Chain A
Amino acid sequence: MSTFIKDYIERETINRRNFLLATAAGMGAMAVPFAFGGGAARAAINDPAIAWSYRDRASAYWNSIVSGGEAFVESLGKPKESLVSLINEGSSEKSLADIKAFLAKTNGKCAIACDANDSPNARPVVEAVRDAGAYISTIWNKTDDLHPWDIGDNYVSHMTWSDEKPAEQTARILFEAMGGKGGVVHLGGIAANNPAIERLNGLKNALKDFPNIELLDAQPADWDTTKGTELMASFLTRFGDKIKGVHCANDNIAYGVIEALRAEGIEDMPIVAYDGNPEAVKLVMDGKLLATVFTNPHWGGGITAALAYYAATGAFKPSEEPKEHREFYGPTVLVTNKDAADFKAKYLDSVPAYNWKDFWGPSNGQIKYK
């Protein structure tokens, strides 16, 4: 069935809901201006189409983002298929082209959640959305000079995660497990990636308080398990017994490090990781990993879509929100052996039901630029 016909039938069948939502949105729009002593008219879109634009489906992280987006659209009483996936496959050109196509298809009556793939791409994306009169919330990638409040209400919000502090915490846990002395190696993400830089900086911050710990070397393992094993094996040749602990930029690399050590019969090396993937949490429970950090992609995926959607419906007006509601850090949860079982029960075994109208509850303060 062509998407046109499908869309048409869908439109006809959900007219009743549209009517109710429109009424609700309209009433909200009527009420709010009075609260602020009157003002600009609301640009409410009735039942905007919702899309998530992201890299790929080949990782647990992005799957979790999408699951959050789906949970959000289901909270609106829509089937989860009504969340449109715009998969850019790591191409900024495709990211922008897909978003423009979606804007054209919906005639600007849409709300978009988006990771722009790389920082420079965020500006053309949000400008295209603004010009079409649609609404967008972004995560991770944007340049430091681009702010939602400079673009206007159509650029609802930006969320990113500050990895420096949590990576510093994992480093401290690692150093304490090493007894405060010895050599440590860092296996990083793709060298130019922001989170990779921040996670290494976190390690370096912690090093200042541990004078007897030596950072032997830090090299990129490209977020990749295979690269992680091979890099770790080479580190073992270069430093041998001097390595007393391993700081990994993500869980995938840690899986590789554990295997490289297993091949050598080393079972008790202190290792810390990042991302809080289910396998890593299990390794923390088994004592193979000391710690990992969870950034709650499910909530991030849902709330980003929710912000764009409710701004589009006129449920809130972005420019009336404080700056810390336009640019903010996402939540981070440190997972250690002590709390891994509780964490698993709370976040992994069953997905918590979030209130998608509590936009900023779990967030972590306004983004700070250096």
Chain B
Amino acid sequence: MPRILTRENAIRWAPFLVLLALIVLFTALNPSFLSQRNFARIAIAAAPALMVAVGVTFIIVMGSIDLSMEGVVSLTAVLFCFLMLALGGTLASGGWIAIPVILTVGAAIGLVNGLIHVKLKIPSFMASLALGFVGTGAAILLTGGDIVKFNDPTFRALLTWRIFGFPLMVYVAGLCLVLAWFIQAHTRLGRYFYAVGGGEDLAHASGVQVQRVRMAGFALAGLFYAIAAILQVAKLGQAESVTGSNFMFMSITSVVVGGVALWGGIGGVWNTLVGVLIVAVINNGMVVIGLPDFLQAAVLGLLVIIAVILSTDRRSVAFVK
């Protein structure tokens, strides 16, 4: 029988244990934390963030970084609302066409991001950060700084229609997560992400077309950012040029807290799920236990550091940059 309590297992399960510990802690301080209603609230908060984080997971596994999410989410959210309104303002009247169109737009922006990074040989953080600004700028230009409301009740069923107490958007996010896991575990592209992240030269020498893999990775990330944008519109009933703000910190923190290594090759979408839940639970829990607001940012920072310490195998890291 293989030993269960190995060091590897401990590290693999550490993020999950951190999540459980947080739930126990917050429940001990306020029992109403541990209620189905509250878990639904945490799930609603986490669903769009999870999609952004899943998108960037692929990039981080490749050993690159993508910082364009705020701009891409804002731009695709705004375009989505405009397109929906132009197509009659309801899902039923042909507005559903907006969904595949916006997913394509998201993937296309991601692809442009990848092209700039790969073809012009600009570091991914710089290329993506710049493209993110372009996205935010385009969203401001389109909206003129105003809010675009989109309140079709059929579409808003993503938020208001509940199955087993959880709104529809949580299941949509769940399905997309399973899709992401499938890409990661059962496609050639998914395996190439790990190959490139684990050792680019080696992957290249083994015949992996690294440049294409990178571009595909960025396009895939853009697709998930567009899904996040649609869920965010479903959650808020509106889009504006700041719809995507805060997603950068939230998603990259979640990915790292969940145990995906920033140097690439380690972790995957399940880590990301746990990481997103940890951050969402901390944010919700701090209010639920009544922590004074001036302590919240500091506590969030400390808990993130602790979670990263517990969930990374620092012995296997040669250097940290």
Which A residues have a C-beta under 8 Å from some C-beta of B? 56-60, 62-63, 191, 217, 219-220, 224-227, 229-231, 233-238, 240, 255-256, 259-260, 262-265, 277-279
Contact = CB atoms under 8 A, between A and B. Distances in A.
B45 interface: yes
A226 B287 CA distance: 15
Interface string B37-81: 110010011000000000000000000000000000000000000
12 contacts: A56-B145, A58-B140, A59-B145, A225-B240, A226-B243, A227-B246, A229-B44, A231-B287, A233-B41, A264-B37, A278-B146, A279-B147
B82 to A, nearest CB: 16
Contact of B293 (A220, A230, A237, A265): A220
B284 A234 contact: yes
B242 A230 contact: no
Nearest to B284: A234
Interface in B248-289: 283-284, 286-289
B145 A238 contact: no
A259 B235 contact: yes
B312 interface: no
Interface in B214-242: 232, 235-238, 240-242
Nearest to A265: B160
B44 A238 contact: no
Contact of A259 (B140, B236, B286): B236
A237 B37 contact: yes
A219 B145 contact: no
B41 A234 contact: yes
A229 B160 contact: no
Chain B residues touching A, range: 35 or more
A256 B159 CA distance: 13
Overall SS of chain B's interface = helix
Given A234-B287, A237-B41, A255-B238, A57 B160 contact: no
A277 B149 CA distance: 13
B159 A263 contact: yes
B35 A237 contact: yes
B144 interface: yes
A240 B37 CA distance: 10
Given A58-B242, A238-B32, A233 B145 contact: no
Contact of B33 (A62, A237, A278): A237
A233 B45 contact: yes
B236 A60 contact: no
B209 interface: no
B287 A263 contact: no
Nearest to A258: B237
Contacts of A60: 145-147
Contacts of A57: 140, 144-145
A263 B237 contact: no
Contacts of A255: 147, 236-238
Contact of B159 (A219, A234, A237, A262): A262
A87 to B, nearest CB: 11
A237 B284 contact: yes
Given A240-B32, A263-B44, A230 B284 contact: yes
B167 interface: yes
B154 interface: no
B294 interface: yes
Contacts of A56: 140, 145
B290 interface: yes
Interface centre among B41, B232, B240, B246 (most CB of A within 10 A): B41
Contact of A238 (B167, B232, B235, B287): B287
A238 B283 contact: no
Interface in B1-56: 30, 32-33, 35, 37-38, 41, 44-45
Given A219-B287, A237-B35, A263 B145 contact: no
A121 B105 CA distance: 42
Contact of B146 (A63, A217, A225): A63
Nearest to A216: B290
Contact of A263 (B30, B149, B160, B294): B160
A4 B2 CA distance: 78
